[in-house]
């Protein structure tokens, strides 16, 4: 396995855990944004970094995405948004995560997101925003760092 991001801290139970199991990421497109080439590129980058990527397809509601993320027990939801409707959609995504008691799942945003919206997105529960001009390794390390900080559950 190539995924080496897990931490080794923790209690007795965690010490016996196989820390090498791949990070699971759900890559999603929210709302009426029909451009998924970027999402597919990201899925491929994460696959090549040793992660297991569940791809949900286009035109999903935040509720669909959170239900899928819970069943798939992913560590991270990665959302690519190019449509400009990121503020209300991420707000709703955060609300659904709280409602389903799934706040242990991280939310990473990417796509076309102006910097002046970063603070508002952070308030609605987005854990990291990867700018559109980012290189592929930044996406990978951002996710690995989030998981390392939380620990495996």
Per CB under 8 A, 43 contacts other proteins: yes
- Count residues contacting other proteins (CB under 8 A)? 63
Convert residues 60-99 into a mask of x (bound to other proteins by CB under 8 A) and - (unbound): x---x--xx-xxxx--------------------------
Taking the C-alpha atoms of residue 142 and residue 147, their distance in angstroms, rounded to an integer, is: 9
Question: For residues 150 and 118, is the Cβ–Cβ distance under 8 A?
Answer: no
* Closer CB to other proteins, 22 or 112, in the complex: 22
Taking the C-alpha atoms of residue 152 and residue 73, their distance in angstroms, rounded to an integer, is: 12
Per CB under 8 A, 102 contacts other proteins: yes
Per CB under 8 A, 138 contacts other proteins: yes
Residue 50: C-alpha distances to residues 22, 53, 82, 114, 130 (Å): 6, 9, 26, 30, 19
Q: Which stretch binds other proteins (CB under 8 A): 78-86, 91-99, 123-131?
A: 123-131
Strands (E), the chain: 24-28, 52-55, 76-81, 106-111, 128-130
* Closer CB to other proteins, 49 or 82, in the complex: 49
Residue 28: C-alpha distances to residues 42, 53, 93, 112, 127 (Å): 11, 10, 11, 15, 16
- Smallest distance from other proteins to CB 93, Å: 15
List of residues contacting other proteins (CB under 8 A): 1-3, 10-11, 13-14, 16-18, 21-22, 24, 43-44, 46-57, 60, 64, 67-68, 70-73, 100-104, 106, 108, 115, 118, 122, 127-131, 133-135, 138-139, 142, 145-146, 149-153
């Amino acid at each position: 396995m190539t995924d080496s991001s897990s931490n080794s801290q923790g209690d007795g139970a965690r010490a016996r855990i196989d820390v090498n199991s791949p990070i699971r990421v759900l890559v999603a497109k929210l709302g009426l944004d029909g451009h998924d080439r970027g999402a597919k590129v990201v899925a491929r980058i994460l696959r090549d970094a040793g992660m297991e990527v569940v791809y949900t397809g286009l035109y999903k509601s935040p509720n669909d995405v959170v239900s899928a993320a819970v069943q798939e027990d992913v560590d991270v939801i990665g959302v690519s948004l190019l449509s400009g409707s990121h503020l209300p959609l991420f707000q709703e995504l955060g609300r659904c995560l709280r409602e389903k008691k799934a706040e242990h799942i991280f939310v990473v945003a990417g796509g076309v997101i102006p910097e002046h919206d970063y603070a508002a997105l952070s308030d609605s529960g987005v854990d990291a925003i990867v700018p559109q001009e980012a290189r592929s390794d930044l996406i990978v390390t951002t996710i690995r760092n989030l998981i390392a900080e939380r620990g495996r559950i």
